Amino acid sequence: MPGHLTDHAIDVTALAAEVADPGCGAAVIFLGTVRNSPADGDVLGIEYSAYPEMADAEWDRVLAEAREQWPMARIAMRHRTGYVPTGEASVAVVVSCPHRAEAYAASRYVIEETKTRVPIWKKERFGSGATRWTANTPEATRG
């Protein structure tokens, strides 16, 4: 099973090509991008780090669960590690299915599970030079 982490910019076109298939009439592409809204302050980018062996193991489990619920789904994903500037994608999930209902559902499942389970962390970097660790939930609850 190939790894899901990359320290390069994500090639979304190549990722979509991995799961394209003549039998699939729908491809849903989700991109999570680094944002900098006024409420966030002057976020220049985010430094992502991971527990690589466990991140891949957890994603293998997530994708197996997704395939169990949506057997026709073809799924590929990548998550970046290292510094990701504001506006760039930190994660990409591509789901190809015969029909769009399953593609949307499987896509949502993969990103939601990624956000709650996969051992990845992020440190925001601000224009001031300050940095700050952030979490998806105030306190880890999974486990």
Partner 1 sequence: MRIRLRLFAMYAEAFGADELSLELPAGATVADALAAVRREPAAAKLPPRPLVAVNLTYAKPDVALSEGDEVALIPPVAGG
Residues within the interface to partner 1 (CB under 8 A): 32, 48-51, 53-55, 57-58, 79, 90-91, 111, 114-123, 133-140, 142-143
Separation CA 50–CA 42 (nearest Å): 24
Q: What DSSP state is assigned to residue 72?
A: T
For the bound state, the minimum distance from the C-beta of residue 27 to partner 1, rounded and expressed in Å, comes to 19
For partner 1, the closer of residues 39 and 140 by Cβ is: 140
Separation CA 49–CA 81 (nearest Å): 5
Residues 6+ apart with CB under 8 A from 121: 48, 49, 50, 133, 135
For the bound state, the minimum distance from the C-beta of residue 99 to partner 1, rounded and expressed in Å, comes to 25
Q: Kindly state the tokens that stand for 78.
A: 């990548």
Residues 6+ apart with CB under 8 A from 107: 28, 30, 93, 95
For the bound state, the minimum distance from the C-beta of residue 14 to partner 1, rounded and expressed in Å, comes to 20
For the bound state, the minimum distance from the C-beta of residue 12 to partner 1, rounded and expressed in Å, comes to 16
For partner 1, the closer of residues 17 and 54 by Cβ is: 54
For partner 1, the closer of residues 30 and 98 by Cβ is: 30
For partner 1, the closer of residues 87 and 119 by Cβ is: 119
